[in-house]
Amino acid sequence: MTLDPMQSAHNAPRCKATSKRTGRPCRAPAVRGWSVCRMHGAGGGGPSGRANGNYRHGGRTKGVVDAVRYINALVKKARDIR
């Protein structure tokens, strides 16, 4: 019995994404641990924070937005108490 490295690629699970143009499924092998291939977003997305190339100042990050919402909710409750 010989191990053929290409045979394992042929037996790999296939991508679950479908084409918008043809409606047919993608035939590329799915990335290990994902249900889609590398072209359809497996492990995709850029890094968050300063590591992202599009990072500007951090004023709209999730943490800042959540903090502002929390403070606004506290202010609203304080106004309702009076």
Question: Looking at the domain assignment, is residue 33 inside a domain?
Answer: yes
| Residue 74 pLDDT exceeds 60 | yes
| 31 touches 12 (CB < 8 A) | no
Domain that holds residue 14: 10-44+58-81
For residue range 24-65, what is the model confidence (pLDDT) as tens digits?
999 899 888 889 998 888 888 888 888 988 888 888 888 999
**Residue 31 forms part of a structural domain:** yes
Q: Is residue 1 part of a domain?
A: no
Name the pLDDT band for 5 (thresholds 50, 70, 90).
low
What's the pTM value of the predicted model, to 2 decimals? 0.48
Is the pLDDT assigned to residue 79 strictly greater than 70? yes
Q: Say which residue, 1 or 28, is predicted with more confidence.
A: 28
Nearest in space to 13 (alpha carbons), one of 32, 45, 63, 79:
32
Give the alpha-carbon dihedral of 7, 19, 41, 54, to 10 degrees: 140
Residue 67 belongs to some domain of the structure: yes
Residue 37 lies in a domain: yes
Residue 34 lies in a domain: yes
Q: Are 39 and 27 in contact (CB under 8 A)?
A: no
